[in-house]
């Protein structure tokens, strides 16, 4: 039997139901019809994964068969099932959809759990918050240390024999991520924020500048795209109202070789980063990822409740 991807599953359910559905509704209907047994991998939060896959497909693929309808909750529909006039109205509404803005009282620190959730959902990466206060050179520590770092390891996906062989030949396909967080990103803080990210995150396989509000101004987006392409820094926009819909505005350029000199500098200056490296090494040696030693990954509903407190 051919295994279904989450997007194929969503397309089948939407085509049969012929009505807009939320990600939770798509998954519930799929289970009722037994389609869940045809999905190759489900993970712990399949509905959230479906939502994320749909958002990314809509944002990144101009010929995506899907469109988003409404919010709270967001529902998805197939463009081909909507009349031409309704379809155009839906697409225009999506194009004009305003960027979600964080509440005034939200601090950068409040965004950390949202980013940890995003990193786990998209890359199965475990993250660790880096406290700048623990740096020896506090006067310029924020330009040296990223806000969060993450690591993906195939330990849970590969057979033990395959992982041991890859380790023996020096290729475990570990991926390191580095993140610089801002509440908002626009022309006033673009260059400082961007080059701060270049300074403290370019050591990793993938480096990202992350914000809960990224200006939608056309000139700004063009400049952001230029900088991203020139320096290989990706941009992520977090959605605080619908964490599953956070998305990669511009992808990072993946580097296959880590900057070990910079990694050594970070480990020398910051105990959190040093502990992160030790944790990853221990996981590899023990062939077991101790998830409780990394930042906790909260569920979307838990994340939204945290902002209400």
Q: Is residue 222 part of a domain?
A: yes
What is the per-residue DSSP string for 79-144?
GGGS-HHHHHHHHHHHHTPPPP---TT--HHHHHHHHHHHHHHHH--EEEE--GGGBS-TTSGGGT
Q: What element of type H or E holds 282? A: helix 271-286
Q: In the predicted model, is pLDDT for residue 69 greater than 60?
A: yes
Q: What SS3 state is found at 256?
A: coil
Same domain for 163 and 38, yes or no, is no
Last residue of a domain, one of 43, 69, 95: 95
CB 264 within 8 A of CB 144: no
Triad 53, 58, 59: Cα angle to 5°: 100
Q: How confident is the prediction for the chain on average, in pLDDT?
A: 83
Same domain for 24 and 135, yes or no, is no
Identify which has the larger pLDDT, 308 or 131.
Answer: 131
List pLDDT tens digits, range 162-217: 777 777 666 667 899 999 999 999 999 999 999 999 988 889 999 999 999 998 88
Q: Is residue 307 part of a domain?
A: no
Q: In the predicted model, is pLDDT for residue 142 greater than 60?
A: no
Quote the pLDDT of residue 139.
Answer: 44
**226: its two tokens:** 């230029």
Quote the pLDDT of residue 101.
Answer: 47
What secondary structure letter does DSSP report for 304?
H
End-to-end Cα spacing for the chain:
48
Q: Give CA–CA dist 137/152, Å, rounded.
A: 29
User: What value does the mean pLDDT take over residues 250-258?
Assistant: 91
Q: Is residue 1 part of a domain?
A: no
List pLDDT tens digits, range 259-277: 999 999 899 988 999 999 9
Same domain for 161 and 196, yes or no, is yes
What is the per-residue DSSP string for 179-212?
EEEEEEESGGGHHHHHHHHHHHHTTSSEEEEEEE
Q: Is residue 103 part of a domain?
A: no
Beta carbons within 8 Å of 233's beta carbon, 6+ residues apart: 194, 197, 198, 201, 202, 207, 208, 209, 227, 252
Same domain for 116 and 232, yes or no, is yes
Same domain for 22 and 127, yes or no, is no
Beta carbons within 8 Å of 298's beta carbon, 6+ residues apart: 113, 116, 117, 306
User: What value does the mean pLDDT take over residues 218-229?
Assistant: 88
Last residue of a domain, one of 64, 95, 126: 95
Last residue of a domain, one of 49, 67, 95: 95
Same domain for 86 and 132, yes or no, is no
What secondary structure letter does DSSP report for 290?
-
List pLDDT tens digits, range 13-56: 999 998 888 888 999 999 999 888 888 666 666 777 787 778 77
Same domain for 212 and 170, yes or no, is yes
Same domain for 169 and 258, yes or no, is yes
**Residue 144 pLDDT class (50, 70, 90 cuts):** confident
What secondary structure letter does DSSP report for 63?
T
- Full-model pTM: 0.67
Same domain for 89 and 167, yes or no, is no
The boundaries of the domain holding residue 60 are: 6-95
Q: Is residue 101 part of a domain?
A: no
Q: Is residue 100 part of a domain?
A: no
**Among 56, 59, 57, 58, which residue's Cα sits nearest to residue 216?**
59
Triad 210, 212, 104: Cα angle to 5°: 135
Same domain for 124 and 89, yes or no, is no
Q: Is residue 308 part of a domain?
A: no
Q: Is residue 42 part of a domain?
A: yes
CB 36 within 8 A of CB 5: no
CB 119 within 8 A of CB 252: no
Identify which has the larger pLDDT, 123 or 42.
Answer: 123
Q: Give CA–CA dist 167/156, Å, rounded.
A: 14
Q: Count how many domains the chain has.
A: 2
Q: In the predicted model, is pLDDT for residue 2 greater than 80?
A: no
Identify which has the larger pLDDT, 166 or 243.
Answer: 243
Give percent of the chain with pLDDT exceeding 90.
39
């Amino acid at each position: 039997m051919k295994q279904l991807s989450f997007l194929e599953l969503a397309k089948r359910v939407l085509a049969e139901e012929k009505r807009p559905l939320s990600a939770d509704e798509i998954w519930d209907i799929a289970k009722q019809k037994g389609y869940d047994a045809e999905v190759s991998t489900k993970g712990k939060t399949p509905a959230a994964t479906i939502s994320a896959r749909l958002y990314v497909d809509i944002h990144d693929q101009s010929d995506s068969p899907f469109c988003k309808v409404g919010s709270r909750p967001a529902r998805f529909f197939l463009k081909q099932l909507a009349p031409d006039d309704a379809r155009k109205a839906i697409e225009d509404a999506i194009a004009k959809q305003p960027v979600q803005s964080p509440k005034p009282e939200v601090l950068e620190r409040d965004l950390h759990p949202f980013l940890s959730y995003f990193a786990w959902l998209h890359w199965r990466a475990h993250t660790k918050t880096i406290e700048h206060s623990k740096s020896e050179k506090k006067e310029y520590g924020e330009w040296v240390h990223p806000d969060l770092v993450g690591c993906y390891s195939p330990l849970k996906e590969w057979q033990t024999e395959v992982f041991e062989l890859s380790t023996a030949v020096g290729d475990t396909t570990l991926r390191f991520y580095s993140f610089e967080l801002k509440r908002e990103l626009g022309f006033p803080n673009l260059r400082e924020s961007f080059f701060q990210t270049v300074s403290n995150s370019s050591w990793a396989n993938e480096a990202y500048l992350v914000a809960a509000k990224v200006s939608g101004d056309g000139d700004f987006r063009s400049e952001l795209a230029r900088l991203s392409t020139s320096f290989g820094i990706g941009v992520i926009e977090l959605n605080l109202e619908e964490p599953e819909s956070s998305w990669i505005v511009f992808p990072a350029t993946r580097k296959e070789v880590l900057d070990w000199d910079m990694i050594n500098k970070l480990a020398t200056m910051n105990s959190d980063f040093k502990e992160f490296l030790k944790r990853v090494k221990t996981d590899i040696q023990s062939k077991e990822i101790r998830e409780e030693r990394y930042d906790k990954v909260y569920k979307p509903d838990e994340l939204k409740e945290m902002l209400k407190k």
